[in-house]
Amino acid sequence: MKIWFSAELDAFFQSDWFTEQPGGTIEITPERFEELMQLQSSGLKISHDENGNPIAVEPPPPTKEEAVGYAEQQKAAFLAVAQETISLWQTELQLDIISDEDKASLIEWLDYIKKLQAIDTSKAPGINWPPVPGHK
């Protein structure tokens, strides 16, 4: 199998998909491709050097808008998990069949939800998320 790299697209092409080398690409070895894929999986970004050869580099920091968007997604995900966690306890509370231990957990999770709701995501990336109950 042959592997090519396009510096223009910072993308790889394999002979499994292309019968000939796409224009503007250079061929790389399967070993180099595997090395770059491992570096990418560790958090690095695939880019190219001045000669168009593929390299792994630190990704640029997120923009303010990206950081805020990510924080909003995090907040929504944390709230969804918290709501799911407390739903049974709330039903038990309404039916007056909740144990003292579960009631204490419910109170702890409700406090966590209040703290999450108070988070101002516009302060991202400098947000200190409250600890998940039971995981301090």
Structure token pair of residue 71: 């924080």
What does the alpha-carbon distance between residue 101 and residue 113 come to, in Å, rounded to a whole number? 19
Query: Which residue reads 């039916």 in tokens?
Result: 95
For the chain, 136 residues long, give each residue's pLDDT as a single digit of tens. Answer: 889 999 998 999 988 777 777 778 999 999 999 999 999 999 999 999 999 999 999 999 999 999 999 999 999 999 999 999 999 999 999 999 999 999 999 999 999 999 999 999 999 999 999 999 987 5
As a whole number of angstroms, the distance between CA 136 and CA 131 comes to 6
Contacts of 111 (CB under 8 A, 6+ apart): 133
pTM: 0.62
CA distance 7 to 124: 32
Structure tokens at 15: 């002979």
